[in-house]
Amino acid sequence: MKIDTYPLKVRRDERGWLVQNEYPFLSRAMKHFFVSYSKKGVVRGQHFHTKKQEWFLIIKGKAKISFEDLKTHEREEVVVSGDKPTMVAVPAGVAHKLENIGQGEMFLLAFVNEPLDQAKPDTFASAI
């Protein structure tokens, strides 16, 4: 398994910084987004999707994202932080969890390739 990551350019000036998506295929694929806030040490996720693909961007803090391919049982971990914005692709059929490993709070901005459909959830628990 190879988890794809997409580094994002940070433009800084005296006002602060700006990060934009420079990958056209990501813009075409995204149909829904969500934001989560996690306190220090919190673990989120521990699930998989059969159809949904997600892209995670840590906008503040530091996270360890763990993955397990449900077919091959291959595992991978990626560490990302808001200091070096990197989009992380989460394929369908891959269990995943996020752990806030930073010294403070963590904010995640996530994008999904299909609209939210509460009547047909595609989220299944998985110990990873």
The CATH number of 5-125 is which of 3.30.70.1560, 2.60.120.10, 3.40.50.2020, 2.60.120.260? 2.60.120.10
Q: pLDDT tens, 23-44?
A: 888 888 899 999 999 999 999 9
Please tell me the predicted confidence (pLDDT) of residue 45.
97
Show me where the domains of the chain are located: 5-125
* Residue 70 CB coordination number (10 Å): 15
pTM of the model: 0.92
Phi, psi of 57 (to 5 degrees): -135, 115
Residues lower than pLDDT 50 in the chain: none
